[in-house]
Amino acid sequence: MNSIETIEAMIAGLTSAEIKAIMAKVATKRPTRVDTSRKARRIAMTELYFNSAPLPYRSTYDEYKQHSEGIRQQVLSGVDL
């Protein structure tokens, strides 16, 4: 008999109470805390961009493009996050 067959034979001989006792002692890996720091950083970059962008109908197009390009560069560099 190989080791798998031996293990299967041992499991077949266990009662339900014994299986329950064994499973209570077996540690299961569960995530205790989900890391959302990457998602929070992406959301912060998006909010920074859209909160700082000027409205195109309240300024000239050149002013709008220059400002939005500056904000885009700031967001990509990670400044003020």
Sketch the domain layout of the chain as residue ranges.
37-77
Task: Give the chain's largest Cα–Cα span.
Answer: 83
CA 17, 18, 24, 28 torsion-angle sign: negative
What local confidence, expressed as pLDDT, does residue 81 receive? 52
44 touches 81 (CB < 8 A):
yes
What local confidence, expressed as pLDDT, does residue 38 receive? 92
What local confidence, expressed as pLDDT, does residue 53 receive? 64
What local confidence, expressed as pLDDT, does residue 67 receive? 82
User: Helix (H, G, I), strand (E, B), or coil: what is residue 58?
Assistant: coil
Ranges of residues in the chain with a pLDDT under 50 are none
For the CA atoms of 21, 23, 27, 31, the dihedral, rounded to the nearest 10 degrees, stands at -130
47 touches 15 (CB < 8 A):
no
pTM above 0.75, yes or no: no
What local confidence, expressed as pLDDT, does residue 33 receive? 81
